[in-house]
Amino acid sequence: KGYFVKVHRGIGWGEILKNIFSLKWPVVSARNELSAINKCEELGIATMKVVGFGERGTAPDRLESFLITEELENTVSLEEFCINWKNNPPDFRLKTALIRKVAGIARILHRNGVNHRDFYICHFLLDRKSNPSSSPFNLYLIDLHRVQIRKHTPRRWIIKDLSGLFFSSMDIGLTKRDLFRFMKVYSGKPLRSIFKEDLHFWRQVLDRAVKLYKKDFKRLPALF
């Protein structure tokens, strides 16, 4: 049986201070990912299954820790699954089901004080045995080591998550209608209310996603 092992070793005060001065919370232990997995399970979000955890030391710069999870077998990342959608459009029901699922996961996380910080489609793993277009299916959220958990998710971290998700989806042939579907599920509102009440928020999300894309690729897809 396969397992995935993540080992953390002391990162030193230099790296800790570098993160703090950059307004980023440093990750010094595998305990952060353990807490994130437990929170996802509490919220009903499919993720990795923990089978082992250990930690030693007290000084944050010298903590040593590990996390062992079961291998997620027979899965494919959404980045890989959707790579040919632009030239070979998928079944409408399949695409809609995946958009709704991802939007629902994002909504649950952000409404419950959780932000991912690396919220890209490559960190969603689809169970190959399921058929999203005709039945319930599992979509696993992974790479949770930088997750932050609070009572309420700050707006700037919500924007960071959603812009990362949009950025990583720009090359898979999504339409404006697809984006509108995502917005409706995420917001729990009809489009008319979204455009009236939340237009500035979604413009901030899109603007940040566009900046990320231009930084890497310079030329935007036709939709944008």
Positions marked catalytic: 118
Place of tokens 């690396």: 118
Q: Are 202 and 182 in contact (CB under 8 A)?
A: no
CA 131 to CA 154: how far, in whole Å? 35
Q: Are 126 and 75 in contact (CB under 8 A)?
A: yes
As given in the structure block, the two tokens for residue 129 are: 């045995």
For the chain, the three-class secondary structure string (H helix, E strand, C coil) is CCEEEEEECCCHHHHHHHHHHCCCCCCCCCHHHHHHHHHHHHHCCCCCCEEEEEEECCCCCCCEEEEEEECCCCEEEHHHHCCCCCCCCCCHHHHHHHHHHHHHHHHHHHHCCEECCCCCHHHEEEECCCCCCCCCCCEEECCCCCCEECCCCCHHHHHHHHHHHHHHHCCCCCCHHHHHHHHHHHHCCCHHHHHHHCHHHHHHHHHHHHHHHHHHHCCCCCCC
